[in-house]
Amino acid sequence: MNSNKYYIGIIVRVILIVIVSLSLAFVSFKTNYLYSIMGLIIVVSIQTWNLINYILKRRDDLKRMLEYIKENNPTMYFSQSRTYPFNELGYFLNEVGDIVREVRIEKENQFRYTQYIVENIRIGLFSFDQNGKIEIINTAAKSLLAIPEIKSVDLLEKVLPGLPDTLKKMNPADQKVIVFKTNGKIQHLAFRLSFFKIGEKEIKVVSFQDIKNELDEKEMESWQKLIRVLTHEIINSITPVTTLTGTIKGFFKSNNNISENTIQQTVTGLELIEERGKALIDFVNKFRSLTKLPTPKFEEVKVAELVRGIEILKRDELAEKNIQLRISLDDETRVIVCDRSLIEHVLINLLNNAADAVCTNTELKGKSITIKSIINNDQRPIICVIDNGSGIPENLQEEIFIPFFTTKEQGSGIGLSLARQIMRLHEGTISVNSKPGVETVFSLVF
């Protein structure tokens, strides 16, 4: 093997130097032959220089190896010829180099692909470090904020006052919608933030988009649904009033002599008109209640205390209906910031609805309702009300939050709508997930 030849060459040269050195020592001590001594000194010097030169030539090759590894120079190639002393190592390094080049090319392609997506996506994206320096900003972000270029997140103060402080204080679970007017156009920018660390460097990634069109569509859809409900309720009240009014008027126009029977029918008709009028007034008052919610008085409330207070309040009432109320708390010390009375109102309404649902399920043997507290992936507290009642069909699971929409004969249709408004005042949400006949879960996310 060529590497062995290299080591043999070193050994032979060292042995020769040792032999000549011993000869020089012998001659120096035993004789006075000056020329012989000088000759041996010259020989030793030549052999030493030859050994050093032999090693130095290989040192340059080793240096090239280290440069190859350090710089990953794709043009550098290590010799594998049979006359080369390190051809085996050269072969190995060339294999490693090929792998490194492939990985490098793959990473470069992935980087270009990611860069292409970031630049062409319609969502605005930018990232900044703990000092506020912007690392990356894409074309969509510049367009939405109407800026050509920006180096620091603090400079966004000139674009939108208060935005830098808002972004720095945001948590990964938060979403902020900010109204922004640029070039005469109003935008509703929804901001979300992600956080990660690279070594000791903290990076925040902000994504945002204009949701005005979506909001307009939702608003229009909500108005249409509300108008349908209002129209239905008003027509149901006005139609019998109009009919009875015409009938009563006919009594008095066709009869010159008003009989006792006519008077009785008139009184009955007026009573019905009064009843429908009161129903319409009651409907309007309920509608007004949706727009006159009290301002929340926020305080720190322990979830355990809140839930157990509701349990004490409703336990006996539910027990009379043979409904078992269960409590499941994942953390006895968890605290939420809320208006306690408003949240209690929401929970009581959900418990009443759950009780109605389990009572209508005639095939159900064990009626149960569970109040459960958990925390989601975004570390936000959730209170769930779970029942095993009749459930809600999938096509109605969003409809039930529309004002005055109800599936109950005696229902007002404002309870869940009020609950949604109350949760919005708390910057939270209420949602439902129901499998009819199996389980229905209402979730309050704070």
Closest by CA to 307, choosing from 358, 347, 350, is 347
Joined tokens for residue 392: 């809600």
Domain ranges for the chain: 2-96, 121-210, 215-290, 299-445
Q: Which residues contact 325 (CB under 8 A, 6 or more apart)?
A: 311, 314, 315, 318, 319, 368, 369, 370, 371
pLDDT attached to residue 384: 93
Average pLDDT over residues 31-37: 68
Distance CA 20, CA 48 (A): 11
pLDDT in tens, 201-241: 888 888 888 887 776 666 666 666 666 666 666 666 666 66
Question: Domain spanning 299-445 has what CATH number?
Answer: 3.30.565.10
pLDDT in tens, 135-167: 888 888 888 888 888 888 888 888 888 888 888
207-228 burial: b if 16+ Cβ within 10 Å, else e? bbbbebeeeeeeeeeeeebbee
* Entry pTM: 0.47
User: What is the overall mean pLDDT for the chain?
Assistant: 76
Do 299-445 and 121-210 fall under one CATH topology?
Answer: no
Report whether 93 contacts 80 (CB < 8 A): no
pLDDT attached to residue 382: 92
pLDDT at 424 over 80: yes
pLDDT attached to residue 71: 64
Average pLDDT over residues 337-352: 88
For the chain, give the percent of residues with pLDDT over 70. 66
Question: Domain spanning 121-210 has what CATH number?
Answer: 3.30.450.20
The per-type count for the chain, helices as H runs and strands as E runs, is: 11, 12
Confidence grade of residue 287 (pLDDT, cut at 50, 70, 90): low
Confidence grade of residue 72 (pLDDT, cut at 50, 70, 90): low
